Structure 1
Amino acid sequence: DNYAQSLLRNLQWMMAKDNMGQDMMLVGAPDGGFRRQLALMYAELMNQEVEIITLSSDVTESDLKQRRELVDGSIVFYDQAPVRAALHGRLLILDGIERAERN
Structure 2
Amino acid sequence: MIIEKRRKDEEKMYIAYLLFVMLGIILVFPVLFFTWMHSVRMEKKIADAIIVLGYKCEENRIHPFLKERLDTAIDLFNNNHYHYIILTGGAVVLGIPKRKLCLAI
Higher-Rg structure is 2
Per the normalisation by structure 2, the TM-score is 0.26
Higher helix share: 2
In terms of fraction of residues, the more strand-rich structure is: 1
Output the TM-score relative to the length of structure 1: 0.26
